[in-house]
Structure 1
Amino acid sequence: MSSHVSNRARVIPLRPVPDESAGPAPREPLWRDVVGDVLRRERLAQERTLKDVAESARISMPYLSELERGRKEASSEVLAAAAHALGLGLADLLALAHRRLARPAPSARPVPSARPVGSRPAPGRTEAQSRLGDIRLAA
């Protein structure tokens, strides 16, 4: 009898091995889908048409439609133009998109609000800019 020891190294996974019985892991959203969703929600909240916003942003209506549906990746210049046409700054648009990405999981503990509950937004701000005050900051 010969005692043969295997030369195979033991592999230790760096990430936990997913439990296949629980189904596939949730997919990270694409940036273009998130930004497009924010653009569409803002446009609809203002009760404006694609044509109106596209003309104001000086981009084509079909292109704006494709941006809203997440079919196209927009340059920062196009995103800024679309944001400005909606009365937002580029930073406002990106903050709203970040807020959608950073929503805590239902089981996560809440993070204190960046603005005290019940406080009013600064005068002269749009509704979308006012909602930016609801962004949660993590320490």
Structure 2
Amino acid sequence: MSEPTAPSPAPEPEPLWRHLVGESLRERRHDLGEKLTETAGRAGVSPQYLSEIERGVKEPSSEMIAAVAGALGLTLVDLTLDVAERLRPPASAGAQPAAHRSAFALAA
């Protein structure tokens, strides 16, 4: 009789979209050297709300995402592509078939 094999570990859950959007927006703001108050003012949101978006606490509307992205000089396509790249597993985790990657990129 063979020994029972240990169950393989469950795959890590994918991150939430709002977390990745917030991460991308925060990085862009930091790259620009801006404070929350500066970006929030141009976007027409409070600094507290922008902070909550960046931390992934709030699920912002598409209008809010567009306003903050625009205040940072990003298009929605730029933001979506950045988030899509963050969702892509690292190359060392096993390459996805090329057809799957293309379809994902087109969907973004």
* TM-score past 0.5 threshold: yes
Greater fraction of residues in helix: 2
**Count of equivalent residues:** 96
CA distance in structure 1 between the aligned counterparts of 2:14 and 2:84, rounded to whole angstroms? 13
CA positional deviation for 1:107 = 3.7
Alignment of 1:43-62 (within 5 A): 43-62=29-48
Counterpart of 1:69 in structure 2 is: 55
Q: Using the TM superposition, give the Cα deviation of residue 104 of structure 1 relative to its aligned residue in structure 2, in angstroms.
A: 3.6
Structure 1 unmatched runs, 5+ = 1-18, 113-136
TM-score normalised by the chain length of structure 2: 0.78
Residue 14 of structure 2 corresponds to which residue in structure 1? Answer: 28
Note if 1:138 corresponds to 2:102: yes
Residue 96 of structure 1: aligned partner? 82
Root-mean-square deviation (CA), in Å? Answer: 2.2
Deviation of 1:102 after TM superposition, in Å, equals 1.7
- Corresponding residue number in structure 2 for 1:85: 71
Structure 1 moving runs of 4+ over 2 Å: 22-25, 107-112
Relative distance call for 1:110 and 1:55 in structure 2 (3 A) is: same
Aligned to 1:125: none
Unaligned runs of 5+ in 2: 1-5, 104-108
Larger RCO of the pair (alpha carbons < 8 Å, separation 6+):
2
Which structure is larger by alpha-carbon Rg, 1 or 2?
A: 1
Deviations 1:97-130 (A, max 9, x none): 1111123451423888xxxxxxxxxxxxxxxxxx
